[in-house]
């Protein structure tokens, strides 16, 4: 073993080349038999829902996108939704001003350094603007976009600067607006006076729990709030669940995004009688299947109207995903948010397609009020929709409840927001 060899480097390179050759055929989306997929989304959706084909021609408009697709937490479906929407826009809406949308993306892994590298790689391709993805390393990429004077349109705001930067536009407020609205609903509508919050004990979980949920609950009249941290890699959640039940709260708030089903089941196991509410991520179909009857009655807030429902947007979304997305694409709220941003982008930029600059792009969103917002409440980018989150153009949510194994909106028209009960941080 003492002889030196250089084949490791050579084999590593060969391996990379082999992987590259195969990467176009492999899929990174979680394929689970219990998840609904694009091909099974809606048998009733037909092609005419999509309208008359109007193909985009000419040189493509390049939009950059960073999305979590490697590392411990991934959201490949956000990009899948955005790409399906771009394909639909290019085939049926004539792209933007007749030019097709081209999305260049870079997979991130949650490490800020990777997001910074990816952002620089995207810059090399001279994008017109950036389409938001799901990226928990975005604190490192936002400064790159800001320096390059690029607008960042849509996506899931996972980190604070995505919601505060002047060059950022967010059509929905997830992780802030939805949790704040749900917490306000607990105090104001459900008249809860005590609550236990189960939250994942990492930087994002701690931030959402302590800076958004806890203060909003208190502001909305919930006097006693018990905070219970859940280790990110806990082998058994029943102790945390029992600790929540032991304080006899009116409501229990579940904020453990990667342990939804088990936490909800653990609450049932230890004999919980309180109302359970929390993240809308916990209403993804695979979670509801896994949690079973334990999730009946679970309340959550989501900025989207039911994308699996019968509204005009929902029918279009299902038909377009069926036609343009890969067959095993996970269909979740996050997929719909990816789709939404491209549709909104096209609607705003098509009229100004002849002069696309960062200033004109931002202006297109920031001028006027109540712009149509695909699958969501109309948006107004006046910087006043959510406290201390000037980039959020819409903080309205619908309240959903799980019942009989399905997540149903209590109403598709009663939009709620945390209003004055959420004061930002």
Subset of residues 334 to 393 that bind another protein, contact rule: CB under 8 A: none
Binding span for another protein by CB under 8 A among 24-32, 127-135, 305-313, 387-395: 24-32
Binding span for another protein by CB under 8 A among 40-48, 263-271, 342-350, 359-367: 263-271
Whichever of 246 and 406 has its CB closer to another protein, that residue is 246
Binding span for another protein by CB under 8 A among 32-40, 339-347, 361-369, 386-394: 32-40
Q: Any contact of residue 144 with another protein (CB under 8 A)?
A: yes
Q: Which residues are CB-neighbours of 407 under 8 A, at least 6 positions away?
A: 283, 288, 300, 400, 401
Taking the complex as a whole, the smallest distance from the CB of residue 317 to another protein amounts, in Å, to 21
Whichever of 42 and 161 has its CB closer to another protein, that residue is 161
Whichever of 170 and 377 has its CB closer to another protein, that residue is 170
Binding another protein (rule: CB under 8 A), the pick from 64, 132, 137, 390 is: 137
Binding span for another protein by CB under 8 A among 142-150, 216-224, 367-375, 389-397: 142-150
Whichever of 265 and 323 has its CB closer to another protein, that residue is 265
Binding another protein (rule: CB under 8 A), the pick from 90, 219, 240, 373 is: 240
Q: Any contact of residue 406 with another protein (CB under 8 A)?
A: no
Distance between CA atoms of 379 and 373, rounded to whole angstroms? 6
Site for another protein in 33-92 (CB under 8 A): 33-34, 69-74, 76
Site for another protein in 186-225 (CB under 8 A): 201-204, 206-208, 211
Contact 237, 214 (CB under 8 A): no
Taking the complex as a whole, the smallest distance from the CB of residue 403 to another protein amounts, in Å, to 20
Contact 298, 282 (CB under 8 A): yes
Separation of first and last alpha carbons in the chain: 58
Taking the complex as a whole, the smallest distance from the CB of residue 10 to another protein amounts, in Å, to 4
Closest CA to 395 of 405, 410, 382, 409: 382
Q: Any contact of residue 266 with another protein (CB under 8 A)?
A: yes
Whichever of 83 and 313 has its CB closer to another protein, that residue is 83
Whichever of 27 and 411 has its CB closer to another protein, that residue is 27
Site for another protein in 108-127 (CB under 8 A): 109-114, 116-118, 120-121, 123-124
Whichever of 25 and 354 has its CB closer to another protein, that residue is 25
Whichever of 286 and 378 has its CB closer to another protein, that residue is 286
Binding span for another protein by CB under 8 A among 37-45, 55-63, 156-164, 306-314: 156-164
């Amino acid at each position: 073993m003492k002889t030196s060899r250089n084949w490791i480097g050579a084999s590593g390179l060969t391996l990379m080349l082999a992987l590259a050759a195969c990467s176009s055929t492999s899929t990174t989306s979680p394929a689970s038999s219990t998840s609904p997929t694009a091909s099974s989304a809606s048998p009733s959706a037909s092609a005419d829902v999509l309208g008359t084909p109007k193909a985009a021609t000419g040189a493509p408009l390049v939009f950059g996108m960073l999305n979590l697709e490697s590392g411990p937490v991934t959201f490949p479906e956000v990009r899948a939704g955005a790409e399906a929407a771009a394909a639909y826009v290019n085939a049926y809406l004539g792209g933007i001003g007749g030019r097709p949308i081209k999305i260049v993306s870079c997979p991130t892994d949650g490490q800020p350094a990777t997001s910074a590298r990816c952002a620089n790689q995207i810059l090399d391709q001279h994008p017109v603007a950036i389409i938001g993805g799901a990226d928990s390393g975005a604190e490192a990429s936002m400064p790159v976009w800001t320096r390059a004077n690029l607008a960042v349109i849509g996506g899931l705001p996972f980190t604070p600067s995505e919601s505060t930067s002047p060059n950022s536009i967010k059509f929905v407020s997830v992780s802030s607006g939805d949790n704040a609205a749900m917490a306000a609903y607990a105090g104001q509508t459900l008249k809860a006076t005590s609550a236990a919050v189960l939250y994942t004990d990492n930087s994002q979980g701690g931030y959402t729990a302590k800076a958004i949920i806890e203060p909003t609950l208190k502001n909305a009249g919930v006097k006693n709030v018990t905070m219970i941290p859940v280790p990110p890699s806990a082998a058994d959640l029943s102790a945390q669940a029992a600790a929540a039940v032991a304080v006899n709260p009116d409501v229990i708030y579940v904020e453990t995004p990667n342990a939804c089903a088990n936490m909800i089941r653990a609450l049932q196991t230890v004999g919980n009688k309180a109302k359970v509410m929390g993240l809308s991520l916990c209403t993804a179909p695979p979670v509801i299947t896994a949690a079973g009857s334990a999730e009946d009655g679970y309340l959550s807030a989501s900025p989207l109207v039911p994308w699996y429902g019968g509204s005009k947007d929902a029918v279009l979304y299902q038909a377009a995903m069926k036609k343009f997305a890969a067959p095993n694409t996970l269909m979740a709220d996050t997929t719909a948010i990816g789709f939404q941003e491209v549709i909104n982008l096209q609607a705003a930029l098509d009229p100004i397609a002849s002069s696309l600059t960062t200033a004109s792009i931002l202006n297109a969103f920031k001028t006027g009020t109540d712009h149509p917002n695909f699958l969501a409440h109309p948006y107004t980018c006046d910087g006043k929709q959510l406290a201390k989150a000037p980039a959020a153009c819409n903080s309205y949510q619908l309240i959903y409840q799980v019942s009989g194994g399905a997540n149903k909106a209590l109403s598709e028209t009663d939009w709620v927001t945390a209003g004055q009960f959420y004061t930002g941080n």
